[in-house]
Chains A and B, each alone.
Chain A
Amino acid sequence: MALIEINQNFGESSEYLFLFVLTILVAWILLVIFSYRTYGYKKTIRFFLPMILASLFVESAGVAYGRYYYPNYLLYISLVGGSVPIIIAIGWSVNLFLFIHMGQFFVEKFYKTTNLLQVILISIVGGGLGICLDLITDPIAHHNNWWIWNQSTSGISFYDVPLTNFRGWFIFILYMSVLTLLIDRSRYSENRKLLISLFSISIVGAAILVTQFFFMGSV
């Protein structure tokens, strides 16, 4: 299986896939421009790239394990056996950036002290916000064949989307938010933070999540 694959039948049997891809791209471009203007390019890379890499690992493992698959996209990357559309990874980076900031917006109203507890609270709220948005996104995606959950997936489901999916969303956003915020608030120089983010979050984080996926049966 090649590392990068190009599908020439983009959107063939999926409804409104182009609209979905366009939505993700517009949101991503808006947030990247905002981040670049506010934080500069190093912090922007630190917020977006590690999540893209980590999600490629996690999603690739999910596809390889046979829980779901992504038909009809244009460009795929296969890291650990399962092909994942690049736009999905970009979507995850939108989620992380958006929910970390929204999480901070809410938590700041009640808890202003910048310490580890605040990092955890922001991440928990961020994970919760992720579930809120996913409650509409995932069923519509399944309905329009943007991604397909295999029928063998057991357990309780919400409009054919297994509940373990929402738990997976929560854990993934929580975990990546904690790491991103801890590195952001560490006392290393900006260059070091960037290096640590790229080397640690994407690889170590994904490895832990992939392990969690297999031994806990979720994500």
Chain B
Amino acid sequence: MLLTLLIDLIKYRNIINYVLHLFLLPMENMPLILSIGFASIFITILICLKSKKTKIDKTPILDSGRVSILKFNTNVFFLVYLFLLIMMCIIGILSEFYEIVLAGGSIALIPLIIMILFMYKKW
């Protein structure tokens, strides 16, 4: 295996070409990406090491997304998910792909049903 690796390394002349060959990608932008990548890793480590940690009383928690529309309490994420699902169903129906609207649509509907149960049912 080592011999194969050595032969490959000779074939591809240097380690960089060999690594690029492994990735099998058209590499026009790779020098740019690699330099940005290495610089980013270096800067990230530097920021983490140099930064002073601040005292926080409470761990930041994400917003629940509760909104009130026309005196009706709901959740903004529920609405966005519902919007995406409805649009996909409309496009599916317009493109006459009814099977997936039924199959995929019913699976995608499950999280919304559970959300409704959690939002409006007191356990």
What B residues does A82 contact at CB under 8 A?
A: 25-26
B54 near A139 with CB under 8 A, answer: no
Q: What 0/1 pattern do residues 41 to 78 of A give for CB contact below 8 A with B?
A: 00000000000000001000100110000000000001
Q: What 0/1 pattern do residues 74 to 112 of B give for CB contact below 8 A with A?
A: 011110110111011111101101011101110110110
State whether the Cβ of B15 lies closer than 8 Å to any Cβ in chain A. Answer: no
A residues with CB within 8 A of B: 1, 3, 15-16, 19-20, 23, 26-27, 30-31, 34, 38-39, 57, 61, 64-65, 78-82, 94, 98, 100-102, 104-106, 109, 114, 129, 132-133, 135-137, 139-140, 143-144, 159, 184-189, 192, 195-196, 199-200, 202-204, 207, 210, 214
Subset of 11 A-B contacts with CB under 8 Å: A31-B76, A80-B33, A81-B25, A98-B77, A98-B80, A129-B81, A132-B107, A132-B110, A136-B100, A143-B100, A196-B47
B residues with CB within 8 A of A: 22-30, 33, 36-37, 40-41, 43-44, 47-48, 51, 53-56, 59-65, 75-78, 80-81, 83-85, 87-92, 94-95, 97, 99-101, 103-105, 107-108, 110-111, 114-115, 118
- Identify the 5 closest CB pairs spanning chains A and B, nearest first: A136-B104, A81-B26, A203-B40, A187-B53, A23-B87
